[in-house]
Chain A
Amino acid sequence: MRVLLAVWAAKLTGGVLRALGRQGTHVPGMIARRIHPGIIGAVQHPPRVVAVTGTNGKTTVSNLLAEALQGEGMRVASNRSGSNLAAGITAALIAAVDWRGRSRADVGVFELDERSGRLVLPGLHPDVLVCTNLTRDSIKRNAHPEYIAWILSSELAPDTTLVLNADDLIASSLGGEGNRRVHFAVDRLPSDTTSPVGAALDAMTCPDCDALLEWDHWRFNHIGRARCPSCGFSSPEPAYRARDIDADREYVVLDLDGDAREARLVNDNIVNVYNQIAVAAVLDVLGVDRDRIVRAFDTLAPPTTRFASERIGDALLVRLLTKGLVGVACSRAFEYLRSFPGRKAVVMSIDEWSERENEVENTAWIYDADYEYLADDTIEQIVVGGHRRYDQALRLAIAGVHPSRIVTLESETEPAERVDVTDADVVFNLHSVHNALTTGDRVQARLRERLGARTGERG
């Protein structure tokens, strides 16, 4: 009866919130959990449940999976429009049952915040859990990836099948002895090296004998394929592999447990290649016909990317979400920035807004980020705006950016006026999450104007 009470309360609240124009994807779950703290386990689940977690890519993978399974004609319960915390998953589970508490979905695909495993996994008890990767995230919340792996492993039931990234030595060892594990990977890429570099390097030692690992190929952070020169330990063998990536032709070969199929490449960003092979692996584990797995990628929409570019005359204006407080995310943005050909000018305002008035931002994260990518001769100027401009400038100087190329300004938007765009081939607008709609939009508009004026002058 308490279960039904929780279901009814959540449904009624959700209805009221939606009538008021709100999404109603979090509060109903909170209310249901208050009425019945074990509601995630007590409410009837769809016959099959897939949980998707990891530091990066979980939203993309869960969205692609839900879309692909809908394409299979299944009724899919998911939290794609809501939160990935316990309340959001509760709300999604309740939305998928009728007023009598009976499940109306064939399968559930739930994105799970990796730190929330403790609250969600015991009740959710997924049939399949996919972990895209576990890399460093917020120092204050997530500490380090081994900690997140411990949370997840502690709460996994032994009969959950794990679909894990073989190229991530932390994520690939999730679970216990009882869990069935299948692994996915992306084969060696031309840009891979064999020598890890950077500040955020985890899993650099052999888990068996502590010797420094050697890398058959190293990609970023601890992502790549490693082996121990002392005891023979190596990264797990992937059953599912993406290879022969051709971005121009939007083409990739997906090797599904020895059965190689050509498929459309949904997106050429390496993180999204991992996401695609992870989706293929889960669909195969769920028993979807392999021809249809491959065909599903023909119609799946590319995920929303964290960058946008527009050509203005002979210049390119690139807007790049550079997630403050998360060093690893910034490193990927900086690496991507450096990969653009031509002379570059950069506007950077990536302070954490929420800590501007009532806190003093803990900037330790900027030393977990590889600003060294920005110490490049093609990056001719970096104009840093905002509260923590001197911390950012100091980090840039320590990274090797020449002081003559660094400009600091207190305002977050003034850099759009001051950056020298005269000879730049590419102008970058780097902002964080919380200031995207304020600083990010305004800087973008002003840079667009200035580059437009430059084009006009050059007639």
Chain B
Amino acid sequence: MSRLTIEMLFPEVANLHGDNANITYLAQCRPDAEVVRTALNDRPAFLDRRVDLLYLGPLTERGQLKAIDRLQPYRRELEARFDSGGLTLFTHNALEVLGTRIRNPEMGYEAQGLGIFELETTLAMMGRYNGKVMGPVTELPDAQPIVGYKSQFSMVEAGSGIDGFFTATRGIGRNPSSAVEGVRRGGFIGTSLIGPLLVINPHFTRALLAKLDPDTEPVLAHEEYAVKAYVERLREFRDDRRWHDGERVQKPIVSR
């Protein structure tokens, strides 16, 4: 067993919606893990040393702009990390930081992202979207889909050829007209889902632990409760009565 290093980028501003529990839980699954917390004014650790998992969580709108500003000098290093298989997880609106543009007309700004992915984000500050999402991932059998929640101001339009984290079988993906949720490239996974993802999807967490350290049998912390909670949630996610019109993928306006 080699000691894992997990780097959390900017946890003092990227900590909304309880999502930092992704890392708390992962670290409890691997009690030997070192968690490095990199502040806004610090140099990211992944530039200078081996980091097994790089994580960025949900940000305020102002926090998004700060994250873009701080990561801009390391755009190439981030891209190289993704392409070389360096495991990286961005949740909620952190993914948008890596896109080409973020538009927020109500707050009166339009910002360039890092431009690693061809993603254009538009925020509707008076139209927060809340919903559920479910879909299978390549790491797991179809019987163990990802389950999660969206609670966000933003919708994302993606250029062609950008692989999703998964394709939703229920709920919307990057935007109301797409079932493709999030982004995957090399070792990078970006998803808008909160929950937190790794806490409410223990099978996926186990698969991630196996990727992080192929030589060690993954062990889930508090496995009994984690699996029971997943089974119960999945049962409810499979219940048609619990899905609403706003959670259906709509046809794009041009094709209606």
> Which A residues are within 8 Å of any B CB, using their own CB?
118, 139-141, 143-144, 146-147, 150, 199-201, 204-205, 209-212, 327, 357-360, 362-369, 387-388, 390-391, 393-394, 397-398, 403
Contact = CB atoms under 8 A, between A and B. Distances in A.
* Range class of the B interface residue count: 35 or more
A406 to B, nearest CB: 8
B255 interface: no
A200 B58 CA distance: 12
A327 B18 CA distance: 9
Interface of B: 12-13, 15-21, 24-25, 28, 39-41, 60-62, 66, 107, 125-126, 128, 130, 132, 149, 151, 153, 194-196, 199-200, 221-222, 225-226, 228-229, 232-233, 236-237, 241-242
Nearest to B234: A360
B23 to A, nearest CB: 11
B18 A210 contact: no
A-B pairs, top 7 by smallest CB distance, nearest first, are A367-B18, A390-B229, A394-B225, A367-B21, A397-B222, A368-B18, A390-B228
Contacts of A390: 225, 228-229, 232
Contacts of B20: 199, 367
A320 to B, nearest CB: 21
B16 A144 contact: yes
B128 A141 contact: yes
A148 to B, nearest CB: 11
Contact of A364 (B41, B153, B195): B195
Given A199-B15, A367-B18, A394 B60 contact: no
B13 A204 contact: yes
Contacts of B225: 390, 393-394, 397
Given A140-B130, A390-B228, A398-B25, A146 B151 contact: no
Given A360-B237, A362-B130, A397-B225, A139 B232 contact: no
Contacts of B15: 199-201
A387 B233 CA distance: 10
A403 B40 CA distance: 37
A118 B242 contact: no
B233 A360 contact: yes
Contacts of A363: 195, 200
B17 A368 contact: yes
A364 B40 contact: no
Nearest to A396: B225
Contacts of B17: 139, 364-365, 367-368
A205 to B, nearest CB: 6
A395 B61 CA distance: 28
A209 B39 CA distance: 12
